[in-house]
Amino acid sequence: MRILITVFAALFIAAAPLSAQEETITVDVSGDVQEALQEALILAEPGSTIMIPAGTYNFTVALSLDVPNITLRGAGMDETILSFKGQTVGSEGLLITSGGVWVEDLAVEDTPGDGIKAKGVDTITFKNVRVEWTGGPKAENGAYGIYPVQSKNVLIDGALVRGASDAGIYVGQSQQIIVRNSVAEYNVAGIEIENSYYADVYDNIATHNTGGILIFDLPNLPQQGGHSIRVFNNKSVNNDTPNFAPPGNIVGSVPRGTGIMVMSNRNVEVFGNEMGENATVNMLITAYSQDYDDEGFNPLAQEIYVHDNTYGRGGWDPDGLAKEVIAPKTGVPLPDIVWDGAVGSMWDAFFGPDADETIHINEKEGTSFANLDFVYDMIVPWQAGIDTDISNYGGSIAPLAPVKLPQDKAKD
């Protein structure tokens, strides 16, 4: 134990974004800022800090960073604005492919593609960063706002993301993730954790999205089998923006007015959240339901534990698939919590899945629930029905350990 603590302390020191001997470069904004900033991003020595003064700067090509341990800092998310309204080259505003990068106090606006993407990096931090499409929610907006993928040790803290035509904050195929203190609004998906392991999503506000917080797992990808994710103390309320994702994308199927949605995945704990004013459903748990060709993929949501959340109004005006498939079975309004009931075998369908593969719910008296029993439905359709007795779904899963990140000094 003592050795472990020492190691952690050492990591904290190593990951500190600034120390006395490291170089600080202030980008010269008097001339061609695009060239000056991109040159700094290429020529900076590892460990340097690149400062971008307050101002709005226009870019026509994507920026990229491939030098490790760089701190890229503006004067504030409303002061230093990188605008990509006129971008003609590159599928994101800023691409980060080196580890140990810390991005702080700046905004990226109006990228035709993704806002800021970090691909395949170890240790990446977004602190007080804003990514926004300033014209409001539109299908022409870029897909992802803050987009770390195939990365580990991901910290997103104090972010503000608006208008993404897919997910505002999207963490895909990654491990060891914290998303906290952030606001995601007017996106299709506010916050989405996809095909990822070990994530803590807490103290965020997801509002006016199509769906607030999504925990997804998809087939045919290098990393799949998402697990060990905690979603707690978030507010996912008033998600009332009609789905504006280009069809064909998985989030295109998310109904307007979804609070928190878990699709496939294993070992997900959802607790202490406030959900309400979500017109389709506050809490939705489903299997991956599209056809696919991937023997290694488990489409089911298993070992999901939902407890101690608060539920405001929900389900009074279901949208899309929920309207077509769920409402006819449950009636309107939909219950606070809906599980599709998809399980792994005929045995499970008749007798219920094993305790370690099912879902568990522990909410205060009066919380409404429905297991749609979709698989059972197919086997014995004459007994078709739903199970609304929440007390059949007690129990819990083994507690998940909090995620710890080497760059996170704010936490103990």
Partner 1 sequence: MRALFQAFVLCAVLLSQASWAEVEVDDEALMAKRPAKLLSAYGLFRDGASQLPSAGVYPYDLQQPLFTDYAHKYRFIYMPAGQSAAYSADETFEFPVGTVLVKTFAYPADFRKPVADIQLIETRLLIHQQDGWNAWAYVWNEDASDAVLKVAGKSFPVSWTDETGKVQNIQYVVPNKNQCKGCHTYNKKFTPIGPKARNLNKDFPYSHGSKNQLSYWSSLGLLRGAPSHGNIPSVPKFDDATAPLGARARAYLDINCAHCHRLEGPASTSGLYLTYGEKNAVNWGYKKRPVAAGRGSGNLHFDIVPGKPDLSILIYRMISTDPAVMMPEVGRTTVHKEGVELIEDWIAGLE
Residue numbers at the binding site for partner 1 (CB under 8 A) = 34-36, 38-39, 41-43, 60-62, 64-66, 87-91, 95, 97, 111-114, 119-120, 139-140, 142-144, 147, 149-150, 165-166, 170, 172-173, 194, 218, 220-222, 246-250, 290, 292-294
Position 347, amino acid:
W
What's the full length of the chain, in residues? 412
Quote the least distance from Cβ 220 to partner 1, whole Å.
Answer: 4
- Looking at beta carbons only, is 149 or 334 nearer to partner 1? 149
Quote the least distance from Cβ 249 to partner 1, whole Å.
Answer: 5
Any idea what DSSP says for residue 391? G
- Looking at beta carbons only, is 66 or 78 nearer to partner 1? 66
For residue 341, give the nearest of 360, 322, 358 by alpha carbon: 358
Parallel, antiparallel or unpaired: strands 114-119 and 80-83: unpaired
- Looking at beta carbons only, is 147 or 374 nearer to partner 1? 147
* CB within 8 Å of 334: residues ≥ 6 apart: 280, 281, 314, 315, 318, 322, 326, 327, 370
Quote the least distance from Cβ 239 to partner 1, whole Å.
Answer: 20
Quote the least distance from Cβ 39 to partner 1, whole Å.
Answer: 5
- Looking at beta carbons only, is 98 or 258 nearer to partner 1? 98
- Looking at beta carbons only, is 64 or 181 nearer to partner 1? 64
C-alpha 272/C-alpha 363 separation (Å) is 10
SS (H, E, C) 100-120: CEEEEEEEEECCCCEEEEEEC
Quote the least distance from Cβ 10 to partner 1, whole Å.
Answer: 25
C-alpha 92/C-alpha 144 separation (Å) is 9
Buried (b) or exposed (e) across 296-322, using 16+ Cβ within 10 A?
ebbbbbbbbbbeebebeebbebbbbeb
Quote the least distance from Cβ 53 to partner 1, whole Å.
Answer: 18
- Looking at beta carbons only, is 34 or 310 nearer to partner 1? 34
Tell me how far CA of residue 280 lies from CA of 23, 194, 321, 347, 400, in angstroms: 52, 22, 10, 31, 29
Quote the least distance from Cβ 57 to partner 1, whole Å.
Answer: 14
- Looking at beta carbons only, is 293 or 412 nearer to partner 1? 293
